[in-house]
Amino acid sequence: MSAPGGARALGAPAEAARALASTSEEEAARDLAGRYGLEFVDVASFAPDPEILKSVPVELMFRYDFLPYRREGERLVLVVPGESPDRLVLEVSGDLHYAAAPAFLAEAEGLVPEGARLVVVDLSHAHETRLAALRVLEELSEHVAGRGGRLELCGVSETFLALIRRAGSRLPATPALPEPGASARECLRGARPPEPPRAT
């Protein structure tokens, strides 16, 4: 399990899907964590700090299915099952032209879990990113915002970045970097997800 985060590939070739299927879930999680600069936590061998455990009621941990991991200042970092990450990376591979855009939007909306507070769309391997792509990315951003999250683009080509600026879009975008996965890591490091909604 990578804590916290996840990644999904949209439009990936069949060979990549077969390669992913041949690795164990743990190997895939370790690979994704390393690729995006996240810490991998193996919950099978994880032993929480007893002092931190004392500070959290046990019934709360069972009810919400989490373990306290460590303190970062006033913040308590939790380890949760990987099914619903609070940060998600969507890797787009292939054409994102006007004919492909609606299918991309439908698939992407279906992949974003309810609890995702930050969705990073990695466009490093996307092609034909023009106005139709910008339109569906803005729609996806509205979908994510409607669930209390935030969308950021990374791996953005100079051409598409210029289009985003000319169109007056407010989508946050990190330019493509030469090293694979570097712009996604940069985006994940620099982005601050919105605060969780407060109970009223």
pLDDT tens figures, 119-162:
999 999 899 999 999 999 999 999 999 988 999 999 999 999 99
Q: Which pLDDT does position 85 carry in this prediction? A: 67
Name every residue whose Cβ is closer than 8 Å to that of residue 18 and which is 6 or more positions away in sequence: none
Q: Which pLDDT does position 144 carry in this prediction? A: 94
**Could you tell me the pLDDT band of residue 183, with boundaries at 50, 70 and 90?**
confident
Q: Is 198 a residue whose pLDDT tops 50?
A: no
Q: Which residues of 76-85 are buried (b: 16+ CB within 10 A; e: fewer)?
A: eebbbebeeb
**For range 61-90, the mean pLDDT:** 74
Show the domains of the chain with their CATH numbers. Answer: 1-41+83-200 (3.30.750.24)
DSSP state at residue 157:
-
Using an 8 Å Cβ cutoff, are 6 and 82 in contact?
yes
- Mean pLDDT score of the chain, rounded to an integer? 78
Q: Is 41 a residue whose pLDDT tops 80?
A: no
**For range 167-195, the mean pLDDT:** 80
